[in-house]
Structure 1
Amino acid sequence: MQYTDLTRKELQREYDRVARKYTNLLREPLALDMTVQDPLLGQSSSQRAVRHFGTVLGKELSDTGAAHPTVAGDAVAALSTMPGCAHRTVELCRQAGVCFDAVDHSTVLARIIPVDAQSDQLTRAAGVFAISARMAALESLRGTLMRA
């Protein structure tokens, strides 16, 4: 279901559903930093971890139109959000305990995957990333519909 095709009522229902998921994430923040702090660390050396993160992202975002995985040379994962939603996505992620970088109005990056990150942590971080992108998109669309 593409978010841009939803009616106002369907949009509100989807927002409520995603907001409940997000609230559950806030109950137990993850505390995982996926930004570059040490330039010597660079990207994750584990391609398996990178693929796992990307697979979860793709699954969580499929067919919503909220965001889609994209390519970025200096990151292990990148999301192209709806225009104007990247900074809100990063803000929502930080509130849930996962740090990402917004590089412009529609691109969010996971620059590194910490070496000590477990598979379940990566799954949860990708879920936070995806839910935050979906919430930001829904908030943007709700705002647009309310002005119309």
Structure 2
Amino acid sequence: MQYTELTRKELQREYTRMTQRYSSYMREPMELDMRAEDPLLGRCENRRAAKHFGTVLGKELSDTGAARPTPAEDAVAALCTMPGCANRTVELCRRAGVLFDAVDHSTVLARIIPFDAKSEQLTHAASLFAISARLAALESLRGTLLRT
């Protein structure tokens, strides 16, 4: 379902559902820094981990229109969010303990996968990444609907 095609009532229902999912991440915060802090930007020795991260992202975002995976040379994973939603996406992730980079108003990057990250941590981080992007998009759309 494309978020831009939802009625006000459907939008509120989806927002409530995403808020509940996000709250579960807040109850179990994780400390994971996916920003690059070394000179080898976007490096990930474990290609399988990077693919797993991308697969979870794609599954969580399929057909919502909130964000889409996009290629980036200096990142393991990148999201192109709805315009103006990147910083809010990064803020929601940060509050739940996972750090990403916002490059501009619509691009968020996971620059590096820590070498000691476990599969369940990557699943958690990718799901949080996607849910945060969805929540930011819903907040933006709700704000637009309330102004009209």
TM-score by length of 1: 0.98
| Equivalent residue letter for 1:67 | A
* Distance (Å, rounded) in 2 between the aligned partners of 1:28 and 1:19: 15
Matched, 1:66 2:62: no
* Distance (Å, rounded) in 1 between the aligned partners of 2:24 and 2:90: 18
User: % of aligned pairs identical?
Assistant: 74
Cα deviation per residue 1:15-56 (whole Å; 9 max; x = unaligned)?
A: 000000000100011100000112257511111000000000
| Equivalent residue letter for 2:31 | A
Residue of structure 1 in register with 2:92 after alignment: 92
3-state secondary structure, aligned to 1:128: helix
* Distance (Å, rounded) in 2 between the aligned partners of 1:128 and 1:9: 24
Residue of structure 1 in register with 2:120 after alignment: 120
3-state secondary structure, aligned to 1:29: coil
Unaligned runs of 5+ in 1: none
TM-score by length of 2: 0.98
3-state secondary structure, aligned to 1:11: helix
| Equivalent residue letter for 1:114 | P
* Distance (Å, rounded) in 1 between the aligned partners of 2:132 and 2:39: 27
- Moved segments of 4+, more than 6 Å: none
* Distance (Å, rounded) in 2 between the aligned partners of 1:6 and 1:42: 36
Matched, 1:75 2:50: no
Aligned-pair RMSD on alpha carbons?
0.9
3-state secondary structure, aligned to 2:69: strand
